[in-house]
C-alpha cells in the first residue's frame, strides 16, 4: 500500500499523536466550483477545521498517488486544472494509479482513502444518491455502496436536491446505513433545510455523534454513518426557487443526453446560473458549516 498511499507529514503526526483529523474531498475543487472560488473555498474549509481544533486532510490523486493531505500548491493545481482532472470513483482507481494520472476524489474515493490512512471523520457538501428517473436508468451513485461498506463518518448537508431523496433514503436503509439528523429530525436537502423526509435519529451534540460512531466501531459493524447537517438558516434557499431551477436544469440535461459522472457537475453549474449565483454562495456556506461540525466531532471521537 505504501507504493500508492502518500500521507502528508502533518496528517501522519496528528494521527500518530491521537489528534483529530478531518478528511475533505477534491471533486468540489475540480468539478464543484469555478476557479478561483474553488481554491479559495478549499483553503477556507481547511482554515475552519484548524480553528475548530482538528487537522484537515484534503484528499486527491496526484501523479498516481493517493494523497491524504494536500499542500496549498497542490490545491491550487487541482483548482486551476479544473474539469480536466478526472472525477475519480472506485472503478477509476486502478487505471489512474497505473497510468500515474490525477484524479479528483468523490465521496466514494475520499472515504476509501481516508479509511486507508486511518481517518474516521469526513466533511463534504452533499452525498450522491439515487437519481431522479433511476427506476429506468439505474443511475445510482457509488457513494451509497461505499457508505454501506467503509467505516467512515460522513458529515454533509444531506443528499443533493437534484436527486430522488425518498429513494436515496430507502437505499441507505436497505444497506443498513444510519442516517442521523444533526439537531433536526428532517433530512436537509443541500440548498434548503427541509425536504419532507425523516431521518433515522436526531442527535444534538458532537459528543453524542462521536459516542454513536465509537459504539458502531466497537461492535465491529461494517459501513459508515451519515450525519446530515442543515445549511445555516441565513443561507438556506427558498424551496420553490431551487426546485424550479433544478427542474429546468434536469430538462436541459435530458435534452442534451448527459449521463453518468457528468450529471452532477452539469446540474450544479446550471443551477448556479439559473439562481444568479445564489446557489454557489449557499454551497460554500454549507461546506464551511459541515467542516466546523466535523472538526468538533473528530475531537470528541479522539477523547
Catalytically annotated residue among 160, 261, 270, 296: 160
Q: Name 255's Cβ contacts closer than 8 Å, sequence gap at least 6.
A: none
3-state secondary structure the chain: CCCCEEECHHHHHHHHCCCCEEEECCHHHHHHCCCCHHHHHHHHHHHHHHHCCCEEEEEEEECCEEEECCCHHHHHHHHHHHHHCEEECHHHHHHHHHHCCCEEECHHHHHHHHHHHCCCEEECCCECCEECCHHHHCCECHHHHHHHHCCCEEEECEECCCECHHHHHHHHHHCCCCEEEECCCECCECCECCCCCECCEEECCHHHHHHHHHHHHHCCCCCCEEEECCCCHHHCCCHHHHHHHHHHHHHHHHHHCCCHHHHHHHHHHHHHHHCCCHHHHHHHHHHHHHHHHHHHHHHHHHC
Verify whether residue 160 is a known catalytic residue: yes
Catalytically annotated residue among 25, 74, 146, 278: 25
Q: Name 51's Cβ contacts closer than 8 Å, sequence gap at least 6.
A: 295
Which residue numbers are catalytic?
25, 160
Amino acid at each position: 500500500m505504501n507504493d500508492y498511499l502518500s500521507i502528508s507529514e502533518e496528517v501522519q503526526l496528528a494521527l500518530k499523536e491521537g489528534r483529530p483529523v478531518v478528511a475533505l474531498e477534491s471533486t468540489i475543487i475540480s468539478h464543484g466550483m469555478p476557479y478561483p472560488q474553488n481554491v479559495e473555498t478549499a483553503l477556507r474549509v481547511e482554515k475552519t477545521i484548524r480553528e475548530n481544533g482538528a487537522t484537515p486532510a484534503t484528499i486527491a490523486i496526484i501523479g498516481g498517488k493517493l494523497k491524504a493531505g494536500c499542500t496549498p500548491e497542490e490545491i491550487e493545481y487541482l483548482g486551476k486544472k479544473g474539469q480536466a482532472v478526472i472525477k475519480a470513483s472506485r472503478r477509476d482507481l486502478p487505471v489512474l494509479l497505473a497510468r500515474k494520472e490525477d484524479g479528483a476524489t468523490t465521496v466514494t474515493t475520499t472515504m476509501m482513502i481516508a479509511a486507508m490512512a486511518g481517518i474516521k471523520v469526513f466533511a463534504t457538501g452533499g452525498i450522491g444518491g439515487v437519481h431522479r428517473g433511476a427506476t429506468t436508468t439505474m443511475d445510482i451513485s457509488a457513494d451509497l455502496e461505499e457508505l454501506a461498506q467503509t467505516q467512515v463518518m460522513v458529515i454533509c448537508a444531506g443528499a443533493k436536491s437534484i436527486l430522488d431523496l425518498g429513494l436515496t433514503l430507502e437505499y441507505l436503509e436497505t444497506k443498513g446505513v444510519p442516517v442521523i439528523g444533526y439537531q433536526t429530525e428532517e433530512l436537509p436537502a443541500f440548498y434548503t433545510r427541509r425536504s419532507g423526509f425523516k431521518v433515522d435519529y436526531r442527535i444534538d451534540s458532537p459528543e453524542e455523534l462521536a459516542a454513536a460512531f465509537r459504539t458502531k466501531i466497537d461492535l465491529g459493524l461494517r459501513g459508515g454513518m451519515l450525519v446530515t447537517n442543515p445549511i445555516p438558516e441565513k443561507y438556506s434557499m427558498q424551496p420553490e426557487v431551487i426546485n424550479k431551477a433544478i427542474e429546468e436544469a434536469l430538462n436541459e440535461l435530458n435534452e442534451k443526453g448527459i449521463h453518468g459522472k457528468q450529471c452532477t457537475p452539469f446540474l450544479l453549474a446550471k443551477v448556479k446560473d439559473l439562481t444568479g449565483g445564489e446557489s454557489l454562495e449557499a454551497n460554500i456556506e454549507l461546506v464551511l458549516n459541515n467542516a466546523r461540525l466535523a472538526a468538533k466531532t473528530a475531537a470528541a471521537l479522539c477523547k
